Structures are given as C-alpha cells and as structure tokens.
Amino acid sequence: MLDLSYNSPVRNRFAEIFILEERILVRRRTSNLDAYLEEELYDTLIYCIQNPKVDDFENKRKRVEEIGKELFSDGGIDAMENMFYSIEFRVKDEIHQDARPYRSWWNGISDDWKY
C-alpha cells in the first residue's frame, strides 16, 4: 500500500509531477500566445517601416504599444527584450531595414525599458 501521508515521499512526488505538468501547459499556452504576438508585431512593424505616411499609421503604432504591454504583463521586461531581439533580426534579414528605432514605442511600459 502506498503511503500518502502529508510528508511521505510518494505523495510529494505526485504533487511534484502535477505541478510540473501544469507548468508545461502554461509554457505551451504562453509560447502559442508569443508566437501570435510575434507575427502580429512583425507584420505591423514591416507595414509601418514600409508605409510611414499612411492614414492608419497611428493605429498601427498603438497596436505595437498594446503588444508590448501584453508581453510585459505576461513575461516582464525579458519577454519584451526577447521579442524585439527576434523581430530586429527578421526585419534586417527580410527587408534590410533597421527596427531598432521602433523600440521607443514601448517606452513608458516599464521604467527599465528606455530606448
């Protein structure tokens, strides 16, 4: 018979497995969300870089700010840094432009984000 008392190693092992499974589910859900946000951010920045004088430019800029806020609320400054780092390389590789000036659109989301 298994010892499932409060301090038993077996009970603690079951709790550890359950917690580990929940973390994996959360990570998968977060990574899917991040993938969608990354694609939206990439598409929006490409549009803004290539069309700086269009009528909906300000709406696109606001959406980029919202994406930054979503990232910050979900993963903090690290999530923002990782996302923009990835975007910078994609933009440079695919359209040979610099996305770094657009980092400033996330200024004000966190005191640690100063570009």
> What confidence score (pLDDT) does residue 16 get?
46
- The answer to whether position 5 is within a domain reads no
Average pLDDT over residues 41-65: 95
- The answer to whether position 44 is within a domain reads yes
Q: CB under 8 Å to 11, separation ≥6 — which residues? A: 3, 4, 5
> What confidence score (pLDDT) does residue 45 get?
96
Judge whether residue 62 has pLDDT over 80.
Answer: yes
- The answer to whether position 19 is within a domain reads no
Domain span at 80: 34-106
Is there a contact between 109 and 65 (Cβ–Cβ < 8 Å)? Answer: yes
Judge whether residue 38 has pLDDT over 80.
Answer: yes
- The answer to whether position 43 is within a domain reads yes
Each residue's pLDDT tens digit, 67-112: 999 999 988 999 999 999 999 999 999 999 999 999 999 999 999 9
Each residue's pLDDT tens digit, 48-57: 999 999 999 9
Structural domain count of the chain: 1
- The answer to whether position 1 is within a domain reads no
* Placement of tokens 């695919």 in the chain: 94
Mean pLDDT for the chain overall:
81
- The answer to whether position 75 is within a domain reads yes
- The answer to whether position 3 is within a domain reads no
Nearest CA to 104 out of 96, 113, 95 is that of 113
> What confidence score (pLDDT) does residue 34 get?
76
Range from 5-9, 47-51, 61-65, 69-73 carrying the lowest mean pLDDT? 5-9
- The answer to whether position 54 is within a domain reads yes
